[in-house]
Amino acid sequence: MAGIFVFSEDPALARQLLTPGLELKAALDQPLVALTPSRDEAQTLAGLGADRVVVLEGPGTPEALAPAVAALVAQAGVVLVGGTLRGKHLAAHVAAALNAGLTTDAKTIRAEGGRLETTRILYGGLAVCEESLALPAVATIPQRTFPPPAPTGASAPVEAAAVTADPRVEVLSTTPVAGEGVDIGAAPRLVAVGRGFGAKADLDLAVDLAGALKAELACTRGIAEDEHWLPVERYIGISGQTVKPELYVAAGLSGQVQHMVGCRESKVIVAINKDERAPIFEAADYGIVGDLYTVLPLLTAALKA
């Protein structure tokens, strides 16, 4: 059946996919179908503009899901898949099964002239790659690229489709990734720290500022992966998290492109750096040239007052 199909095993991302899905539905005049492995989530998706919701019942491995999804979307116009690790794995299988083009990590997506036009960031943010795919086409979309649509007040029909296990793949055990459970991506305000901090104990200055701002703490890769002063789920950038907070306070970090890729869509960026030529000032809305050891306590005190 022709249509715009969206799938993510991540509930938040599944909702976000409906926003570009609705735009493509209007442009291509095809129904919008949400595929989900969760019966609970199906009801939510049914109220966000999907014309139909299909619950995929059975094993959730990409190997098992791919044939089921490919069969459902056999003549799809477009398949949008949430760009998680599992989602990318699934998207590759589905694209192969449909003999369709695949673009990953699409930042913008639109239909024009019967084709899918996408952009994605390349070389750590140094270039934007534009791709034009014939239909059917498959695209993966990262977290928080689009906001979820508003509830419509209506409820689309929900049906079920069976997923059959792939006999070649057996899940013997699963182990949750150990972490502190903070969702940096959901925080409306972040205070990000970099190597301008000379010692782990000095991060207390940033913790105090974050407390005054009701913000979460984030960091550069070096702080998480080299110094191990903060957990890896708190580092921002091309190989870390992508965030879009209302406020991003960058203290003692240089603003190299690999970091900025993860935060440049923040609404307001405030930079504190003692080097006036630091690249972070090119991205910042507000900049303070100064020593963070002086500036942070002053900011915290002013906010508390």
Ligand X SMILES: Cc1cc2nc3c(=O)[nH]c(=O)nc-3n(C[C@H](O)[C@H](O)[C@H](O)COP(=O)(O)OP(=O)(O)OC[C@H]3O[C@@H](n4cnc5c(N)ncnc54)[C@H](O)[C@@H]3O)c2cc1C
Residue whose Cβ sits closest to ligand X: 237
Count residues near ligand X (CB under 6 A). Answer: 27
Q: How far is the CB of 240 from ligand X (least distance, A)?
A: 4
For 52, half-sphere exposure in the C-beta direction (CA atoms, 13 angstrom radius) is 17
- Name the segment binding ligand X (CB under 6 A); options: 39-47, 78-86, 162-170, 235-243: 235-243
Closest separation between CB of residue 191 and ligand X, Å? Answer: 13
Query: What 3-state DSSP class applies to 189?
Result: strand
Q: Across the chain, how many H-helices and E-strands are there?
A: 9, 15
Q: Report the residue from 235, 242, 271, 300 that binds ligand X according to the rule CB under 6 A.
A: 235
Query: Is 211 an interacting residue with respect to ligand X (CB under 6 A)?
Result: no
The site string for ligand X over 240-259 (x = CB under 6 A, - otherwise) reads x-----------xxx-x-xx
User: Should residue 220 be labelled a site residue for ligand X when binding is judged by CB under 6 A?
Assistant: yes
Under 8 Å between Cβ of 77 and 60: no
| Per-residue binder mask for ligand X (CB under 6 A), 270-289, x = binder | --xxxx--x-----------
Termini Cα distance of the chain = 62
| Alpha-carbon 24 to chain mean position | 20
Rg (C-alpha) for the chain, rounded Å, is 22
Out of 67, 125, 148, 222, which residue is the one contacting ligand X (CB under 6 A)?
Answer: 222
- Give dist(CA 127, CA 131) in Å, integer: 13
Are 83 and 143 spatial neighbours (Cβ–Cβ below 8 Å)? yes
Binding mask 23-62 for ligand X (x = CB under 6 A): ----------------------------------------
Min separation Cβ 256 and ligand X, Å? 4
Spatial separation of the C-alpha atoms in residues 249 and 255, rounded to whole Å: 12
Q: Which two tokens stand for residue 48?
A: 């966000």
Nearer residue to ligand X within complex by CB, 44 or 254: 254
Task: Provide the minimum distance between the beta carbon of 193 and ligand X in the complex, in angstroms, as a whole number.
Answer: 8
Contact residues for 175 (Cβ-Cβ < 8 A; gap 6+): none
Q: How far is the CB of 241 from ligand X (least distance, A)?
A: 8
